[in-house]
Structure 1
């Protein structure tokens, strides 16, 4: 059996609007989830790492954050279905409160449900590194700034945020690698309406189209490598950690 080197799979991938659209969808969802995990995770980390000074209580709160990981990943994903469905808990509560008159259909089997599921699942990977960096801040520095008349906003902008940036970058790398390689959450919560690069790889492997799956895998690897390289350029982790 003779093997012939060919670029047919690359040409097919790069000339298809479907596959190029999957790249854009993957990048868009990654960016939104990354921002969402920072917005949700940073205040939680700020409370645990800076305002809770008791180490035992800090550990207990961090353990509470990872309790969902005691169950299967797939169970955590599917658990959002009864929450977001037209007869789910969120719609029922909103209707009981009189906020809506009919169920919201966009909550489930849409890109929105994928974003909600990924944000909840991966937020803890943002909380942990940020909490670690915030816990290393010398409280006396903050007290000195407060004694000099600095407001909390100034202290946060000039002291807390810069010192916590390595944690944000580490958390961003964790979240980015996992979100960019996702396929199960999108398949389960979007009703296969959201097509990510991970879903393409899985479907092509299932169809025994190894060459095309390899092309999608290489593209995904390049994207992940570029994201990690960018994060490492923004913050020198070896220096800051």
Structure 2
């Protein structure tokens, strides 16, 4: 070995690389075993031959061709993307003002914590209970219709409130809004009050401060919240099945129905398509903001 290869700096660098590899190896092994290999298995199964009562490992593109040429499944993709976009916008519109109030206008950390805990109280009960609880609210004889009729705003029950795409949007927005509130509140809480005070001293109005300071500094929180909401909404099936009366067909519902029918290959195709959509959404979100730099 040469003197350069045995220099203390080089030996120390090699030792640091070995130590870093040892520290990373459990995480890498976990990712390979429980993420990469299962995903590769799903892709492989999507090319298996599917018959009425069985699936064989003979590779074919029949399931892919059927999925990509059937209007029902193409409509399911469009419906999934449309509902995802609508819920994403709705959670930002509803969640941002709540996060703004908690993160900037509430000075006490104790009160902030209490308000955030109040936002997650619904998660103390079952997911299905939270979904089904909307039925007595949105039904033709539900609370909303009864209140509107007693106030004289309507003269007959509104039928679109339940078992429709509207009810699915309402349910998903309520369920996942907290995942938008949390990250935005965290980022707003990091804004130094002195920055806002300096802007006020310079004569900036509230809307100027909001547009030029608050929104840019809270954008990483919006992106993180959007990732959380997107992953969960795109993979949804229970809310759509419970509140739409199976009138809204999402990719998640197709996967569940195909697995229930033991059509593993076709379910794998839908799973791969859904994974590609989620990956594209997350990649786009991460391109908007460098989270490693901002968080």
Place the TM-score, normalised by the shorter chain, in its bin. over 0.9
Structure-2 separation of matches of 1:139 and 1:181: 39
- Aligned ranges 1:64-75 → 2 under 5 Å: 64-75=118-129
Counterparts of 2:149 and 2:78, CA distance in 1: 35
Instruction: Give the aligned partner of residue 166 of structure 1.
Output: 220
Runs of at least 5 residues in structure 1 that lack an aligned partner in the other structure: none
Q: How far does residue 53 in structure 1 lie from its aligned partner after superposition?
A: 1.3
List aligned pairs for 1:50-65, cutoff 5 A: 50-65=104-119
State the match for 1:216 in structure 2. 270
Number of the residue aligned with 1:25: 79
Query: Is 1:125 aligned to residue 163 of structure 2?
Result: no
**Separation of aligned partners in 2, 1:26 and 1:4:** 31
Which 4+ runs in 1 deviate beyond 6 A?
Answer: none
1:46 alignment counterpart? 100
1:93-132 alpha-carbon deviations (Å, 9 max, x no partner) = 0000000000000000000000000000000000000000
Distance 1:150 1:7, change over 3 A: same
Question: Is the counterpart of residue 12 in structure 1 residue 69 in structure 2?
Answer: no
Is it true that 1:93 corresponds to 2:147 in the alignment? yes
Q: Report what 1:83 is aligned to.
A: 137
Please point out which of 182, 190, 193 is paired with 2:247. 193
- For residue 175 of structure 1, what is the aligned residue in structure 2? 229
User: Aligned in 2, Cα 1:186/1:2: closer, same or farther, shift over 3 Å?
Assistant: closer
Q: Per-residue deviation at 1:4? A: 1.8
- TM-score, length basis structure 2: 0.81
Separation of aligned partners in 2, 1:50 and 1:27:
33
- 1:151 is aligned to 2:202: no
Structure 2 partner of 1:102: 156
Separation of aligned partners in 2, 1:147 and 1:97? 47
- State the distance in 1 between where 2:279 and 2:107 align: 37
- Give 1:13 deviation, angstroms: 0.0
CA distance in 1, matches of 2:260, 2:149: 42
**1:114 aligned to 168, 172, 186, which one?**
168
Shift of 1:3: 3.4
Shift of 1:2: 7.2
Match of 1:229 in 2: 283
What's the CA shift for 1:32? 0.1
Alpha-carbon distance between aligned partners in 2 of 1:145 and 1:2, rounded to the nearest angstrom: 67
1:135 matched residue in structure 2? 189
Q: State how many pairs are aligned.
A: 241
Distance 1:96 1:8 in 2: 57
Q: Which has the larger radius of gyration?
A: 2
- What per-residue deviation string (whole Å, max 9, x for no partner) do you get for residues 57-82 of structure 1? 00000000000000000000000000
RMSD: 0.9
Aligned-partner SS, 1:106:
coil
1:239 equivalent in alignment to 2:293: yes
